[in-house]
C-alpha cells in the first residue's frame, strides 16, 4: 500500500498521541522508584527484541550503508533524549519543555542548509504560532526566565531532535524502515545501560516492581516499538517541517493525559496553547495557492 503525505501525517499524529500518553506512564514508573537510566535501558531492550521478532529477516540482511544510516539516526535520537533528561535536573520543567521544543524553529533551516529544501513563508508563521502555543502551554510567561546550565542542555537537546527529524525525513530514505527502527532501539538500549550503570545498579532494590512492571512494558511496547516505528515509516513520506510541528503535539497530548489521570488540572493556558499549536498545523498543511486557484476558477465561472 502506497503511503501518501496525508496518511503519513496521520501516522505521525498517532505517534504523538502515544508519546503523549507516555508522560503519565513514565511518571508512574518514576514514582515506583525506577531510575531514568533503567527506564531507557529497559524500553530499548524490549524495543529491540520486538523489532527482531517482527523484522529479523530484513535486519539480518542489512548493508553497511543501512547500518551507518541507522546508527546516525539512533545517536541523534538518543542524544536528544539524554540531554533533555540531564537538562531538566538543572532547570525548571517549563524552561526545559519550552527550550526543547524550539527544535521546530531549527528544522526548516537545517533542512535548507543540508538538503537545500526551500523554506516557505507560511512555515515561519506556523512556527511562530507553535512557539507561542508552547510558551502558553508550559507557563513560561508566568515565570522569570533565566539562563543556566540546564537551559544550555535543553537547547542542545533541541538541536539533536531537529537533526533527527530532518535526517529521518531526507537522509534515511535509502535504508529500510525496520533497519532504522532496530538501530534506534539498539542505541537506546546500549546508551540507557551505560547511564543505568552510572546511576548505580543498587537502585533496583528500591523499585516497587508490582507497580512498575506495567508502565515499563507500556513504554517499551507502545511508546517505543509502535510509536517510533510509525515515526520512521511516516517521515519517509512527509516534509521535515510538517513532521516537527505534528510531533510537537506530543506536549499537548501529554497535558491532556496528565489532566485525565489526575496528575494536573485544566487551565486556560492549556486551552489557548493547544489551540495555537493546532492552528499552526492547519496553517502549515493548507495549500493557499490551490485555494486561490479554485476561488479564481469559481469567480470566472460565475461571470
Within 8 A by CB and 6+ apart from 71, the residues are 183, 187
Query: Which pLDDT does position 76 carry in this prediction?
Result: 92
What is the spatial distance between Cα 75 and Cα 279, in angstroms, rounded to a whole number? 32
What is the spatial distance between Cα 39 and Cα 51, in angstroms, rounded to a whole number? 18
The answer to whether the beta carbons of residues 117 and 108 sit under 8 Å apart is: yes
Query: Which pLDDT does position 16 carry in this prediction?
Result: 86
Look at residues 233, 231, 271 and name the one whose alpha carbon lies nearest to residue 255.
271
What is the spatial distance between Cα 212 and Cα 209, in angstroms, rounded to a whole number? 5
Which residue has cell 486556560?
A: 268
User: For the chain, what is the largest distance between any 2 Cα atoms, rounded to a whole number of angstroms?
Assistant: 80
Q: How many residues does the chain have?
A: 303
How many Cα atoms are found within 13 Å in the side-chain-facing hemisphere of 190? Answer: 11
C-alpha cell at 44: 530499548
Query: Which pLDDT does position 296 carry in this prediction?
Result: 60
What is the spatial distance between Cα 290 and Cα 294, in angstroms, rounded to a whole number? 6
pLDDT below 50 — which residues of the chain? none
Query: Which pLDDT does position 98 carry in this prediction?
Result: 67
How many Cα atoms are found within 13 Å in the side-chain-facing hemisphere of 42? Answer: 20
Give the Cβ contact number of residue 2 at 10 Å.
5
Query: Which pLDDT does position 143 carry in this prediction?
Result: 64
The answer to whether the beta carbons of residues 102 and 131 sit under 8 Å apart is: yes
Look at residues 281, 206, 202 and name the one whose alpha carbon lies nearest to residue 244.
281
Query: Which pLDDT does position 121 carry in this prediction?
Result: 78
> Residue ranges per domain, the chain?
5-302
C-alpha cell at 162: 531537529
DSSP-derived 3-state class of residue 174: coil
What is the spatial distance between Cα 103 and Cα 98, in angstroms, rounded to a whole number? 10
What is the spatial distance between Cα 232 and Cα 169, in angstroms, rounded to a whole number? 8
Query: Which pLDDT does position 110 carry in this prediction?
Result: 85
Amino acid at each position: 500500500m502506497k503511503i501518501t503525505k496525508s496518511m503519513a501525517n496521520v501516522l505521525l499524529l498517532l505517534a504523538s498521541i502515544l508519546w503523549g500518553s507516555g508522560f503519565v506512564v513514565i511518571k508512574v514508573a518514576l514514582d515506583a522508584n525506577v531510575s531514568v537510566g533503567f527506564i531507557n535501558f529497559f524500553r530499548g531492550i524490549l524495543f529491540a527484541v520486538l523489532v527482531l521478532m517482527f523484522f529479523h529477516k530484513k535486519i539480518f540482511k542489512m548493508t553497511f550503508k543501512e547500518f551507518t544510516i541507522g546508527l546516525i539516526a539512533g545517536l541523534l535520537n538518543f542524544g536528544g533524549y539524554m540531554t533533555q533528561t540531564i537538562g531538566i535536573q538543572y532547570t525548571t520543567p517549563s524552561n526545559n519543555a519550552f527550550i526543547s521544543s524550539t527544535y521546530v524553529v531549527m528544522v526548516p533551516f537545517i533542512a535548507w542548509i543540508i538538503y537545500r529544501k526551500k523554506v516557505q513563508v507560511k512555515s515561519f508563521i506556523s512556527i511562530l504560532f507553535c512557539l507561542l502555543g508552547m510558551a502558553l502551554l508550559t507557563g513560561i510567561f508566568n515565570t522569570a526566565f533565566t539562563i543556566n546550565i540546564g537551559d544550555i542542555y535543553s537547547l542542545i537537546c533541541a538541536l539533536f531532535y531537529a537533526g533527527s527529524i530532518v535526517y529521518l525525513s531526507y537522509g534515511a530514505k535509502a535504508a529500510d524502515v525496520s533497519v532504522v527502527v532496530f538501530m534506534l532501539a539498539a542505541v537506546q538500549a546500549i546508551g540507557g545501560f551505560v547511564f543505568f550503570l552510572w546511576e548505580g545498579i543498587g537502585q533496583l532494590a528500591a523499585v516497587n516492581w508490582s507497580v512498575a512492571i506495567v508502565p515499563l512494558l507500556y513504554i517499551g511496547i507502545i511508546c517505543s516499538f509502535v510509536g517510533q516505528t510509525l515515526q520512521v515509516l511516516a517521515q519517509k513520506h512527509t516534509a521535515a517541517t510538517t513532521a516537527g510541528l505534528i510531533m510537537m503535539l506530543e506536549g499537548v497530548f501529554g497535558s491532556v493525559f496528565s489532566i485525565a489521570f489526575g496528575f494536573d488540572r485544566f487551565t486556560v493556558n492549556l486551552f489557548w496553547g493547544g489551540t495555537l499549536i493546532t492552528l499552526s498545523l492547519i496553517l502549515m498543511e493548507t495549500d493557499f495557492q490551490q485555494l486561490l486557484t479554485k476561488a479564481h476558477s469559481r469567480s470566472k465561472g460565475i461571470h
